[in-house]
């Protein structure tokens, strides 16, 4: 009678081992997808807030040259990096384009009344080996985009966010 019981005990051990592997894979997948959506939400928030700031024509103080202002494009890029907490954007990962009246795109943040599109692209390496095979290069790539119309640029200086110095400039 001991033999059937020993066989059942071995079967339970194998079933537990297999179930543990599947459970671990599920946990890695949940971790990876949660991380992907977290960074995607952070980047979308940063792009949205940066373009909201840019619609007024304001710029940030240049930290490398005290007493001078950054360009509007550099101010937008700097705010995206600061607000998203993501470092290491490539030179073509943040794009700022004005939509011309004929519908073509022109690089830059535009003038008052212009429609401007800001997009930022980021790639996150997928940690789980079984998931990385599903993504090109083992990375999840996403783009956050916001389009807005520039307001009339004010002539006064003000601060929108703590720690970011802002001054209005005329284009």
pLDDT of res. 169 = 43
Residues near 56 by Cβ (< 8 Å), separated by ≥ 6?
Answer: 151, 153, 154, 168
Rounded distance, CA 25 to CA 132, Å?
12
State residue 34's pLDDT score. Answer: 95
For residue 54, what pLDDT is reported?
84
Residue with tokens 């949660």: 34
For the chain, what's the residue count? 171
User: Which pLDDT score is estimated for 99?
Assistant: 85
Beta bridge partners of 99: 105, 115
pLDDT lower than 70: segments of the chain = 1-7, 9, 155-171
Answer whether 149's CB lies under 8 Å from 53's CB: no
Query: Do the beta carbons of residue 154 and residue 56 sit within 8 Å?
Result: yes
The reported pLDDT for the residue numbered 152 is 86
What are the pLDDT digits (tens) for 6-55? 667 678 888 889 999 999 989 999 999 999 999 999 999 999 999 888 88
Beta bridge partners of 116: 98, 148
Query: Rounded CA gap, 97 and 148, in Å?
Result: 11
- Report the pLDDT value the prediction gives residue 155, as an integer from 0 to 100: 61
> What is the pLDDT at residue 162?
43
For residue 94, what pLDDT is reported?
95
What was the pLDDT predicted at 112? 86
| DSSP alpha helix (H) spans, 55-142 | 72-84, 129-132
Token pair for 117? 């599109």
> Using an 8 Å Cβ cutoff, are 22 and 40 in contact?
no
Contact 127, 85 (CB under 8 A): no
DSSP category for residue 69:
B
pLDDT of residue 102: 79
pLDDT at 4: 56
């Amino acid at each position: 009678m001991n033999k059937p019981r020993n066989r059942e005990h071995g079967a339970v051990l194998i079933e537990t081992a297999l179930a543990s592997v599947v459970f671990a894979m599920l946990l890695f997948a949940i971790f990876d997808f949660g991380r992907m959506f977290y960074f995607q939400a952070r980047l979308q928030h940063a792009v949205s807030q940066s373009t909201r700031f840019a619609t007024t024509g304001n710029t940030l103080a240049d930290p490398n040259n005290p007493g001078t202002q950054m360009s509007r494009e550099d101010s937008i890029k700097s705010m995206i990096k600061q607000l998203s907490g993501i470092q290491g954007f490539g030179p073509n990962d943040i794009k700022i384009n004005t939509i011309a009246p004929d519908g073509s795109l022109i690089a830059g943040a535009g003038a008052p009344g212009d429609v401007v599109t800001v997009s930022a692209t980021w790639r996150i390496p997928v940690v789980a080996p079984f998931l990385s095979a599903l993504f090109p290069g083992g990375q999840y790539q996403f783009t956050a985009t916001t389009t807005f119309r520039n307001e009339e640029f004010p002539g006064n200086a003000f601060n929108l966010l703590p720690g970011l110095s802002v001054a209005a400039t005329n284009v």
